[in-house]
């Protein structure tokens, strides 16, 4: 099936992702030393922790599946949802926002792109460093208790401390008028994530985050062709996510006018 999509533009969302409790997004480990740390956080080439775009996008996708009651589980695993027919895809927020496997003959480009979020180094204050074990992270000790013998097995986890901040950037591409509904859903998913957890051990208190200092900028397709005045900052000051949700209809008015005007 071949369908022509119209490129209307991109909404660029910038802001700050702040850890409100310790954050643990793990790195691959080839082995573990006796008495060493059980889980390390992922870091860049300079040893600074960051939030991988794949981790943030994957978590948002899983929350979208839950919200649409599309979570699949069985045989000891939870599986990613993908629509298997055009009829199901037509009203699926998850697959429109986050994408479909390329082998589907009705596949379309994912609307959402999430970039890696680097650490904002100034967010690690001298006061925080006084209680940290490593330059950018802390080591948290936990005991695993045997429920029969009550024997305790201590383990160490590296995590990013509460208060650390990361530079957020997400890009949402509009191809259809209804993509504005999917864009609204994205902000709802971000709110759902604030009430859930990012990374490992969320049920044990890790991974509570918040989105702050958000700015929304709309780049119409004309702006990429050099047209003046076609790139617009939609909010006049950085906003908390709760403020974005309260003002969303007004913030997206210029985008709606642009998209509906061209679609008409």
What pLDDT shows up at residue 30?
A: 44
Q: How far apart are CA 100 and CA 198, in angstroms?
A: 23
Decide: helix, strand or coil at residue 256: helix
Model-level pTM?
0.89
End-to-end CA distance of the chain: 24
What pLDDT shows up at residue 142?
A: 76
Of the candidates 196, 191, 124, 197, the one whose C-alpha atom is nearest the C-alpha of residue 160 is: 124
Q: How far apart are CA 197 and CA 141, in angstroms?
A: 20
Q: How far apart are CA 157 and CA 204, in angstroms?
A: 12
Q: How far apart are CA 142 and CA 192, in angstroms?
A: 28
Query: Are residues 40 and 26 in contact, defined by beta-carbon separation less than 8 angstroms?
Result: yes
Q: How far apart are CA 60 and CA 64, in angstroms?
A: 6
Query: Are residues 89 and 204 in contact, defined by beta-carbon separation less than 8 angstroms?
Result: no
DSSP structural state of residue 71:
-
DSSP structural state of residue 207:
-
pLDDT at 164 over 80: yes
pLDDT at 168 over 50: yes
Query: Are residues 12 and 38 in contact, defined by beta-carbon separation less than 8 angstroms?
Result: no
What pLDDT shows up at residue 66?
A: 93
pLDDT tens sequence across 7-45: 999 999 999 999 999 999 986 554 444 444 557 899 999
Q: How far apart are CA 188 and CA 184, in angstroms?
A: 7
Query: Are residues 18 and 190 in contact, defined by beta-carbon separation less than 8 angstroms?
Result: no
The pLDDT confidence band at residue 262, using thresholds 50, 70 and 90, is confident
pLDDT tens sequence across 221-232: 988 988 776 789
In the predicted model, what is the mean pLDDT of residues 112-140? 94
- What helix, strand, coil percent values describe the chain, rounded to 5? 30, 30, 45
């Amino acid at each position: 099936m071949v369908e022509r999509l119209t490129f209307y533009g991109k909404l660029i969302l910038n802001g700050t992702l702040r850890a409100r409790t310790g954050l643990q997004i793990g790195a691959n480990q080839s082995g573990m030393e006796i008495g060493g740390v059980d889980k390390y956080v992922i870091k860049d080439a300079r040893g600074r922790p960051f939030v991988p775009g794949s981790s943030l996008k994957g978590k948002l996708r899983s929350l979208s599946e839950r919200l649409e009651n599309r979570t699949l589980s069985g045989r000891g695993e939870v599986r990613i949802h993908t629509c298997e027919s055009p009829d199901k895809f037509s009203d699926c927020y998850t697959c429109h926002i986050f994408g479909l496997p390329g082998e589907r003959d009705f596949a379309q480009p994912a609307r959402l792109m999430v970039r890696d979020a680097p650490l904002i180094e100034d967010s690690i204050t001298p006061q925080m460093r006084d209680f940290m074990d490593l330059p950018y992270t802390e080591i948290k000790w936990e005991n695993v208790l045997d429920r029969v013998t009550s024997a305790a097995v201590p383990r160490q986890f590296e995590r990013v401390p509460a208060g650390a901040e990361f530079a957020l950037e997400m890009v949402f591409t509009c191809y259809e008028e209804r993509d504005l509904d999917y864009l609204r859903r994205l902000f709802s998913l971000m709110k759902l994530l604030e009430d859930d957890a990012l990374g490992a051990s969320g049920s044990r208190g890790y991974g509570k985050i918040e989105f702050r200092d958000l700015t929304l900028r709309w780049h119409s397709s004309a702006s990429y062709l050099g047209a003046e005045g076609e790139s617009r900052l939609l909010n006049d000051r950085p906003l908390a996510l709760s403020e974005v949700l309260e003002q969303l209809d007004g913030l997206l008015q210029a985008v709606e006018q642009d998209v509906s005007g061209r679609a008409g």
